[in-house]
Structures are given as structure tokens and as C-alpha cells.
Amino acid sequence: MLMDANKWLVSAALPLISLNCIAQQTKQPNIILIVADDLGYSDLGCYGGEIPTPHLDELAKQGLRYTQFYNAGRSCPSRASMITGLYPHQTGIGAMTETPWGPDDWGTPGYKGYLNHNCVTMGEVLREAGYHTYLSGKWHLGMHGQEKWPLQRGFDHFYGILAGACSYLRPEGGRGLTEDNTRLPAPEQPYYSTDAFTDRAIGFIDDRPADGAPYFLFLSYNAPHWPLQAKQEDIDKFLGKYKKGWRAVREARLKRMVKMGLVDPKWRLAQWEARTWDELTEQEKNDMDMKMAVYAAQVHCMDYNIGRLMKHLEEKGEMDNTIIVFLSDNGACAEPHVEKGSGGVDMINDPSSSDKPSYGLPWAQVSNTPYRKYKVRAYEGGTAAPFIVSWPARYAQYGGEIRHNRIFLPDLMATFIDAAHATYPETYQGNTIFPLEGKTLLPTIEQPDAVIHDYIFSEHFDNCAVWWENWKAVKDQDSNKWELYDLTADRTEHVNMALERPKILKQLVAEWNKWADSHQVYPKHK
């Protein structure tokens, strides 16, 4: 809920009590935010997955993993919320952002399709605090008109894609590359976007001015978003490993997650929505094995590149006082919501394709083990994501621990402000800025039982949710009825408690409506 100015000033001042003490003792840290695109909750090794991700596992070992980190359900609203510290509708991206084919303006403030000027980005806030600011990878927050591009929203340098997806092998046209404010032709071959985005990120670090100032690097991968495109040597590592089938992979992940302490052993796997593996023909099994192998290769390559970055920081002696945050922008992607996904295996590694093939709904369910549904939907499979944070200079003693505190995207802005001794503005370049919605995560590192949020809300294409204490009310796009779940007993959302706990449901729906009325969720036009 929006707070009045006095309340906001009081709440905003609270972290500054500790901040002022820290500022006298600690040099401003470098900050690196790494975002994966459409990565499922359980795909990483450190979250129970079978895909080898040794470098992210090491980051988790030296840092912390969170089990209840929530996103906005889809890439562009999630990125808008993350980079501004607000709910996505407050930024103007309550639905989708602009596509290569044109604007996506619904005609109301919450649905303009690009970042408005009543918000500030991490780049803008941290640059004001003395940081050099860089973005390598995916933007997806507005593309028609340079005023919407990264350099005009707080970043010193940018290399990557303005659109939401691209060919990994030959990005071109409307889904092509941009450097700073210049559109680039298709790159020389061979090319692979995950490698290139990492190369440029490392280059930004090395080429920054020698003035001793800290830097903020936003490394925004398009992996493992469709299309399925990966290096053959990586694909070969996984071919045949998924012929055991969906159920076997899913159950093995759950077993590891329970052992790690990531999920409660009492929770059941979410309801399955496809055929069983045994119902597939041999050719179908081979095709689905191939698709998952390529997806795994994309994840594995991303991890390799994160390892390259971490090694570079260690060699430069910068790892210790660098905050690294890794997350996924939403749950795994089931698009186009059919069993076999889009496109056939013959389209894999077609450099001219920027949207096909995809790996299909069943594998998305596996990626989101043990949770329900997938990207876009407000159930846990769409809105819960892996979240790793590391800052050895401050929190080495907590390395490898797990946190169950409920946190969400706007908390990143508040956390970086806290760590960087920055100031969140009331106005910026003559525009009134919405009060910050996030809370600093730093207390949750030292206090595993710290509660920093009362309510958390979500809405995307009529997929609605509100979290409060152990309860979650959710309304799916295919239903006009609110459901209620006890997340402590049933986070995989099997047992709808709406009839048993009507007062709680009424309370949560009332709070959601107040939030929606005050945060530009309404009105909706198109």
C-alpha cells in the first residue's frame, strides 16, 4: 500500500541508522546483479537440480540462498520492479513492454509499456551515489525512442538487446544488438550471446575510469529463454540423460531439495498437467530428451560464464568487497503451453530463429519442482525463483546458509541503497518519484527470523496474488474465484482453504483491492 509522506520518511530512515555507522567503516562495495531469464526454481545444482552449475553452487556456498523470493511472474514487469524498487504498474509496465514491432500502450498509466518518469532506476540512483554504471545483456523496458534506452536511464555504457529475446547465435533486426545508443549489425560468426554478454561485462570492469569509484554492473542474460540454442559440446554433455522421463527427474529433484532444506518433506509435488512419459512414442521421447538437453546446455553455459566473471574478480582482488546477487526473473516458461513446446528439434540451433523452439509445458513443470504452474501465472511456480546473495567482506560467516524470509523484487533497490550509502529521491529531474516499496535485505542475513514485509502483492494479466503471514490468496486468469492456501503446510498449493477460512480470504482480497486501487493496477484499457 502507498504510504503517506510522513510514514514513508520514517520507514525510509530506519535503515539509515545502521547505514551511517557502516559508512564510516566500510568502503562502498561494487555491486553486480546477475539475472537469468526464465530459469526454473529447481534448475540450479544448489536448488536441487541435476544440471551442473558449479560456479553458482560455489557462490551459494560462500553466500546465502533464499527460498521465498518472489517476482512479478513475467520478464518485463519483473525487470521493471527489480530495477526501480516499485511494483511494476507504478513504473508503467503492468502488462508487457514494447516489442520490436511497435508500442504496447494500453492507454492508462500502469500500462504504458515503458518505464515512466515517476520512477528511478538503480543506474540513476547509484550513479548519483558516485558509481560507474554498466548494463550488459537484456533491457526489455522500452525500445521505441532513445529516451527509453539504458543510457538515458542511468547507465554509463550498454551492450545487449533492447527486446525481450533474440537469437543466441545471430541477433539481428528488431531483436538485434545495441551498443550505447547505436544499433549494431548482425555480429560476426561464431557468436554466442551468453559468452558475448559476459565478455562485455568483464570489459566494462576493466575499462572503467581509474578514479577509485565503485561500479554497478547489471549482467542480464537472455539464457535460458527460448529459442533452444546452445554450443554442441555443451549439448553433448546432456543428450540421453533425460530419457528417464519427467517423473523421474522431478522426483529426484524433490529428494535433493528436501535434503538441502529448501522444501518441507510434507509438501507434495504439484499436480501434473501432461501425459506420463510412458505414453510417449520412442520418437517423442527422443525429441523431448533433445529439447531438455539443449535447455540444460544453456543453463550450464550461463554458469560457466558466471564462473569466468567470478574468477576475474578474484584475480583483480575485487571479490571480497563486491555484492553479487543472482536471481531468475520469473518461473520456468511453458510457452506456448503445449506438451511439445514450439518448433521441432530440426529448428534447434537455427541462427535465423529468435522465438523457436521451446522445451514445452512438462519440462517447465519439472524446472519449477515442486511448485504449481509456471511463468505468467500467480501460483508459486510462476512467482517463486532462486535467489543467491554474496558479500564476503560483510557476511562471510553466514556462507552456505539458507534463509526462509519472504522477500521480493523491490527489495533489491532498497538493499543496494543501504549497502552503497545512496539516497532514494523524492524527486528526480523535475519529476515526483513514487515512494520506495522495497525493504533492505541486510537485516535478514543476520536475522533468519526477521520479517520485513506485512503484505506482498502481485497482478499480471489478471493473475492475482497476495501473501500475508503463512497465507496466500491467488486468482488465476482462467477463474474468477479467489483461492486460499496455507503456505506453511501446503506451499505446492493442493488444498484450497477458501471455504474453511473465509474471514482470512476476505481480509486478503480486501487488502489486494486497496493495493490495486492505489498502485495503478486500475483502470485497465487496451
pLDDT of residue 25: 43
**Dist CA 135 CA 79 (whole Å):** 13
**Distance from chain centroid for Cα 283:** 34
HEC letters along 411-435: HHHHHHHHHHCCCCCCEECCEECCC
In degrees, to the nearest 5, what angle opens at C-alpha 370 toward C-alphas 164 and 273? 75
| Residue 525 belongs to a domain | no
| pLDDT beneath 70, residues of the chain | 1-26
Reported as a single tens digit per residue, the pLDDT across 293-321 is 999 999 999 999 999 999 999 999 999 99
**Dist CA 420 CA 422 (whole Å):** 5
Helix 282-315 to helix 193-207 angle (10° resolution) is 10
**Nearby residues of 281 by Cβ (< 8 Å), 6 or more positions away:** none
| Residue 523 belongs to a domain | no
| Residue 143 belongs to a domain | yes
| Residue 469 belongs to a domain | yes
What is the domain range of residue 496? 5-518
Selection from 124, 117, 126 nearest residue 90 by Cα: 117
**Dist CA 369 CA 47 (whole Å):** 10
**Nearby residues of 500 by Cβ (< 8 Å), 6 or more positions away:** none
| Residue 526 belongs to a domain | no
C-alpha cell at 513: 483491492
Total-model pTM: 0.95
pLDDT of residue 177: 98
pLDDT of residue 168: 98
HEC letters along 77-132: HHHHHHHHCCCHHHHCECCCCCECCECCCCCCCCECCCCCCCCCCHHHHHHHCCCE
pLDDT of residue 26: 61
| Residue 278 belongs to a domain | yes
User: Which H/E stretch holds residue 292?
Assistant: helix 282-315
| Residue 487 belongs to a domain | yes
| Residue 524 belongs to a domain | no
CATH of the domain at 473: 3.40.720.10
Q: How many domains does the chain have?
A: 1
Selection from 55, 67, 58, 33 nearest residue 300 by Cα: 55
| Phi, psi angles (nearest 5°) of residue 27 | -70, 145
In degrees, to the nearest 5, what angle opens at C-alpha 296 toward C-alphas 32 and 402? 50
Reported as a single tens digit per residue, the pLDDT across 437-480 is 999 999 999 999 999 999 999 999 999 999 999 999 999 999 98
